[in-house]
Homo-oligomer: A and B are copies of this chain.
Amino acid sequence: MSTRENQRWIYCQRPSGEVNESHYRLETVPLDSDLAANEVLIENHYISVDPYMRIQQSAKPNWEEPHPLNTLQRGAVVGRVVASRNAAFSDGDWVSAYTGWERYSRVHISAATKLDPQLAPVTTALGVLGMPGRTAWFGLMEAGQPRPGDTLLVSGAAGAVGSLVVQFGKKAGCRVVAFAGSDEKCEWLSDELGADSAINYRRFNGAAELDAFFKAERIRADIYFDNVGGTITDAVIPNINRRARIVICGQISQYSGNLDEVENGPRFLHHMLYQRACVQGILARDFNYRMDEMLAVVGPWVGNGEIRYRETIVDGFERLPAALSGLFHGDNTGKMIVRVN
């Protein structure tokens, strides 16, 4: 590809099940580098793939209208400025922006955030110091209301958000029970992130077995931070404590088709009544305006290693759809990022 061209992944077909490359087309277009005042051209180095992208591909409205067909797949990027019409942004500056799956992004500077690679690796702007970090921090602190001594259950605990919730929960004095889909992930959760116990849910044959395990181990949730939904949630909800807080951050087990064709599961609202519990849905964007609060607290912890993070880096612009698909197979530990330059 010449530097006078741009490449873009166009979302062009609605998936009815799992999303994969067949729902995209790769487009090569002339590079639009004719900047207006206060615009910059970014050469993207790292592009984010996130589970929420599949929600936006549901046929029905979610928090907004479905992602339009035949448009650039939206997403967060980290790259370097290669042209600027604003004095505050110079060639070579690292920035993050919300643009999409393209090699170059042209944005107004109000939509670009400058990054300091001395403070933290620039990829953290897509993970621990970006949207997933914000989601984990405010989701747990605001909706979860953790108190020392609480038992905090986390599903999807080895993911970008879950792995931070585990650590934030430990900082808040909780006993943390983490769920993940492999023994390797569970080892990481226990040995490096400090989870009090880590459970490979794939070793259990359905919710009834998991429920029996909770009862045998006397595991009951004061807080359940749910990224996954489905059978893990089916097993947790009958095992909540009085005034439990159930934080719905994601339902990744339900995304590949069932958001349009809803799956059935056990009714559980009577448990809300028994325990006077609360289910609270959260969304990262609601806390955008408080990003500075999160960074002020979590930034130093990342800098001094108190909060750990992993990234699963996939190499190659052409692998963006496959990387997205991999999220639904547990291919990632921590944040999944595609390196494109």
Contact = CB atoms under 8 A, between A and B. Distances in A.
Interface of A: 55, 61-63, 226, 229-230, 233, 248-251, 254, 258-259, 262-283, 286
B263 A263 contact: no
Count copies of this chain in the complex: 2
Contact of A270 (B55, B266, B268, B276): B55
Contacts of A250: 273
Given A229-B267, A248-B269, A278-B278, 11 more contacts: A62-B270, A62-B274, A229-B270, A230-B267, A249-B273, A251-B269, A262-B268, A264-B264, A265-B265, A265-B267, A272-B279
Contacts of A265: 264-267
Contact of A275 (B229, B264, B281): B281
24 contacts: A61-B274, A62-B270, A62-B274, A63-B275, A63-B276, A233-B269, A248-B270, A248-B272, A248-B273, A251-B267, A251-B269, A262-B268, A264-B264, A264-B265, A265-B265, A265-B266, A269-B281, A273-B281, A273-B282, A275-B281, A276-B280, A277-B281, A278-B280, A279-B279
Contacts of A280: 272, 276-279
Nearest to A268: B262
A218 to B, nearest CB: 14
Contact of A278 (B230, B262, B281): B281
B266 A264 contact: yes
Contacts of A226: 269
A270 B259 contact: yes
Nearest to A251: B270
A279 B269 contact: yes
A236 to B, nearest CB: 12
A266 to B, nearest CB: 4
A156 to B, nearest CB: 13
Contacts of A272: 248, 279-281
A283 B279 contact: no
A283 B276 contact: yes
Contacts of A254: 267, 269-270
A274 B248 CA distance: 10
> Which of A248, A275, A286 is packed against the most chain B CB atoms within 10 Å?
A248
A3 to B, nearest CB: 41
Contact of A273 (B251, B274, B276): B251
Contacts of A276: 63, 280-283, 286
A268 B269 CA distance: 11
A268 B272 CA distance: 14
Given A258-B267, A264-B267, A269-B226, A281 B286 contact: no
